[in-house]
Amino acid sequence: MAFVEKTRYLLAPPYCRSAETFISPILSSPSEILDGLRLAGGWRFFKNLRVLQKKKII
């Protein structure tokens, strides 16, 4: 069984030995977003990022 803790704050620095950090864009189409960034020069855009951290048990 996994224990999931939703916190408001991230561990700093994000890339450290005590936590694995994963960052992924939340994708949108060009018609849904006007001031977003283009993902890899393609036709998908993103404005927000999802940051997941997994604490390592030492």
pLDDT band at 42 (very low <50, low <70, confident <90, very high): confident
Q: State the SS3 of 4-52.
A: CCCCCCCCCCCCECCEEEEEEEEEECCCCCCCCEECCCCCCEEEEEEEE
Domain assignments of the chain as residue spans, ordered by start: 19-55
Quote the CA–CA distance of 34 and 28 in Å, as a whole number: 10
> Which residue type is seen at 47?
K
pLDDT in tens, 7-24: 677 767 767 788 888 888
pLDDT band at 27 (very low <50, low <70, confident <90, very high): confident
- What is the pLDDT, as a whole number, of residue 58? 65
Contact (CB, 8 A) for 8 and 51: no
Q: Is the pLDDT of residue 32 over 80?
A: no
